[in-house]
Structure 1
């Protein structure tokens, strides 16, 4: 069996300190904003980024991110265009890139070809929340491994300790831990599942754990860091982009987080 190799995503967690990631949707707010946003995030103190692949039927996302998917698709964003945009990005930035999206468009694209293009443009990890763990293990693991893509999986308050251990054994890069049971941006605060978060911090994981969903402020990030190795800001950042790409506004938002 081909073993997973070191890549940028694994390397950052070998360095001391808690991590911060930002999520944004490819092709939003404008088709050609993906690279300027990525470059701006790379110049900040963000440790890695998640780029959402827009899809018309995303099941886990709340209103803010669903709307960004709708606008991106209306702008004409496709997987091919995203890969074309990312093609030369490694000449400019070095922070890890994770692609996040639904299995349907990736499957329609051809999974093996998708992984090949990810590897070519320098993507480090892939998070497909609706990819069943059994299917990954039986059909898709070799594609990840051959192209050195970290398979990233989610855990939630409903995930048993036994299943957490299995997910941890199959995953690489980091484990994406949902802060609660709502959709993205669906709650005004985090921290209601304190038993779950305490269990996360006490559980022995092979991979780093990063907390996501409903993390909006510096205080939220600090709270997440009490229980996990990193935090992800998504909907709050996408909201900042609603009125268009504005470098000053984005920089101000990021400064408020760090």
Structure 2
């Protein structure tokens, strides 16, 4: 059963493990779950991100200074997991995982009930050619990213191996948090949804308001909000932000 499929639309929030404090993870997970968030994407802080905008980069820097690492993250997840009933997704770049050990990483993901993993710099082709026995094994669902310019044939291939996960639509070819108009890509978003067949398609990168959420829901199955939430978190207004987003 795919934990990301539901009758209605989904709202997901991206958080950075270890931000704003080393022990913030449990409080954030429980709070977001209580406020009705459908699933949570937990970012593993990394010093050299490729696609993250300045807000997420700043939270990663703070988290690393706080001492957050994969060992600590899995320890914290083990302590809180029984209280969390919504799906959790981990987002990491490939380098920290390889340093940790890819097999150990997947084992820990399974032990802590992780529903999927996003690795932005691990392409579909790289999985097929080099990491088929680990990331391509199906031990933990791997969530692939696509953009409006991704070829149709590649999207169809990704959809075939994503039946137990979702496909992450990067709404624009820019870093996270950048503003863009959803309507400019409306036709393409609808085409992508058809190509994904029965696999949920979630839109991220730049979604920040209830109005954008409603517009996105016309084309996709859900949204992922990161920068805007982390900005609200830094200002102490995260609960009000979620209330408005979920209105």
What is the TM-score normalised by the length of structure 1? 0.89
- 1:28 to 1:229, Cα distance in 2 relative to 1, 3 A: same
Q: Secondary structure at the match of 2:218?
A: helix
Aligned partner of 2:177 among 160, 174, 185 = 185
CA–CA distance in structure 1, aligned partners of residues 40 and 94 of structure 2: 20
Q: Which runs of 4+ in 1 moved over 4 A?
A: 144-147
Aligned partner of 1:143 among 118, 129, 134 = 134
Q: Secondary structure at the match of 2:42?
A: strand
- 1:203 to 1:145, Cα distance in 2 relative to 1, 3 A: closer
Q: Secondary structure at the match of 2:13?
A: strand
Following superposition, the deviation at residue 145 of structure 1 comes to: 6.8
Following superposition, the deviation at residue 101 of structure 1 comes to: 1.3
Partner of 2:187: 195
Partner of 2:8: 17
Q: Secondary structure at the match of 2:46?
A: coil
Partner of 2:219: 227
Q: Deviations over 1:143-173 (max 9, x none)?
A: 3576741110001022011111111112341
What is the TM-score normalised by the length of structure 2? 0.93
Q: Is the 8 A contact 2:19 2:25 kept in 1?
A: yes
Q: Deviations over 1:27-74 (max 9, x none)?
A: 011111011101111111111000000001100011110111111111
Output the aligned Cα RMSD. Answer: 1.7
What runs of 5+ residues in structure 2 fail to find an aligned partner? none
CA–CA distance in structure 2, aligned partners of residues 196 and 256 of structure 1: 28
CA–CA distance in structure 1, aligned partners of residues 138 and 70 of structure 2: 18
Following superposition, the deviation at residue 193 of structure 1 comes to: 2.1
Question: Is the counterpart of residue 250 in structure 1 residue 238 in structure 2?
Answer: yes
The aligned length equals 245
CA–CA distance in structure 1, aligned partners of residues 136 and 195 of structure 2: 26
Q: Secondary structure at the match of 1:11?
A: coil
Following superposition, the deviation at residue 179 of structure 1 comes to: 1.1
Q: Secondary structure at the match of 2:217?
A: helix
Q: Is the 8 A contact 2:127 2:136 kept in 1?
A: no
Following superposition, the deviation at residue 191 of structure 1 comes to: 3.3
Q: Is the 8 A contact 2:16 2:59 kept in 1?
A: yes
Question: Is the counterpart of residue 57 in structure 1 residue 48 in structure 2?
Answer: yes
Aligned partner of 1:159 among 150, 153, 156 = 150
